[in-house]
Structure 1
Amino acid sequence: MWKLLYKLELITGAIALSSFSVLIVVGVFTRYVMNFPVAWAEEASLIAFAWLLFIGGAICAQENTHVIIEIIMPERGTGQHRAMETGASLVAAMVCAIMTYVSFRYTVEAAPMMTAMLRLSTAVYNSAAPAGFALMTLHLLRHGYLAFTRAEPDHPAENGI
């Protein structure tokens, strides 16, 4: 299940990144080369960017590449390290769960509003936030569980940024 979810996130992120890149190029080309700006390209690129941002955050949560302050992390493999890894994941999951709820409510309340150029419901881009935060919550809960049950939680060899 996790591998399928990860693949779906990667595909969605790749589509959002590709769309965003193409739409930005189209917008710049029509504005500065053709001297005829296409307003819908900017609006569509903002929608793609919103999805890229939140799905990218979910991918980072899945890969456990969040920022870690190494100075306060105990040596890996110790009980203290497992406790801090578990605690950090659970606190982050709680914050993401709250943000899922808040962003979902906002998406529902703002859904009747339409975008200026494409005349789409604002839910098209606002729904990226609850989707991304929900995925982040799932991944962070999983990492908290893995940190709690294993001596060495699964994360990349290089932590943080």
Structure 2
Amino acid sequence: MKKCWAFIEEVLAGTFITAGSFVILYGVVMRYFFNDPKAWVVEVSTYMIVWGVLLGAPIALRNNQHIRIDILYDRLSKSSKYVMDIFANAVGVIFCLFFTYYGLLIVLERYPSGMVSMDVGIPMWIVYLVLPFSGLLFLLRYIEKLALAVNGKGEN
């Protein structure tokens, strides 16, 4: 189950980043080789890259690849590191709860409004749907990290 979850995360994030990159390449080719710029390229590629990045954030957390300052952490005792791991992951859980909740509120506000994007006409609730979805994935990763920290299997 854990490998399946990781695979799905990687495929989703990778697909959006790759597709966004190909849309950008298409836009460059159309503009500079065929002198036929496409207005929708910037909008669609931006959405795809943002989706890819937000879906990739939980992967970075899973692999301990988020930026952090180790200079103080490395000097802590083992028991202090234990407390710090629990605290940091608990704060992450709280952040993700807010992020997911407010992301969902944005989606629910945009759905009935009928707002659409400028060039393509994509309903904006679909564009913003990545917020609660990525927030939920991020939350699950932080819960996993918190459980590991509580069991003494934190960052070390």
TM over 0.5: same fold? yes
Give the Cα separation in 2 of the matches to 1:66 and 1:91: 15
Give the Cα separation in 1 of the matches to 2:77 and 2:143: 20
Give the Cα separation in 2 of the matches to 1:154 and 1:138: 17
Quick one: higher RCO (CA 8 Å, sep 6+), 1 or 2? 1
Q: TM-score, normalised by structure 2?
A: 0.89
Cα gap change, 1:52 to 1:139, in 2 (>3 Å): same
Gaps spanning 5+ residues in structure 2: where? none
| Contact 1:50-1:125 within 8 A present in 2 as well | no
Q: TM-score, normalised by structure 1?
A: 0.86
DSSP-derived class of the 2:36 partner: coil
AA paired with 2:123?
S
Q: Which segments of structure 1 move beyond 4 Å, counting only runs of 4 or more?
A: 74-77
Cα gap change, 1:129 to 1:82, in 2 (>3 Å): same
Equivalent in 128, 131, 153 of residue 129 of structure 1: 131
Deviation at 1:117, TM superposition (A): 2.4
Q: Which residue of 1 aligns with 2:38?
A: 38
Count of aligned residue pairs for this structure pair: 154
Q: Which residue of 2 aligns with 1:117?
A: 119
Matches within 5 A, 1:1-161: 1-74=1-74, 78-111=78-111, 112-150=114-152, 152-153=153-154
Q: What are the Cα deviations for residues 72-107 of structure 1, in whole angstroms up to 9, with x where unaligned?
A: 215688121111111101101211110111111112
| Contact 2:85-2:155 within 8 A present in 1 as well | no
AA paired with 2:63?
E
Deviation at 1:65, TM superposition (A): 2.1
| Contact 1:47-1:124 within 8 A present in 2 as well | no
Question: For structure 1, which segment, 24-33 or 111-120, has the greater mean C-alpha deviation from structure 2 after superposition?
Answer: 111-120
AA paired with 2:118?
A
Q: What are the Cα deviations for residues 118-145 of structure 1, in whole angstroms up to 9, with x where unaligned?
A: 2221122211121111111110111011
Identity level (%): 23
AA paired with 1:65?
Q
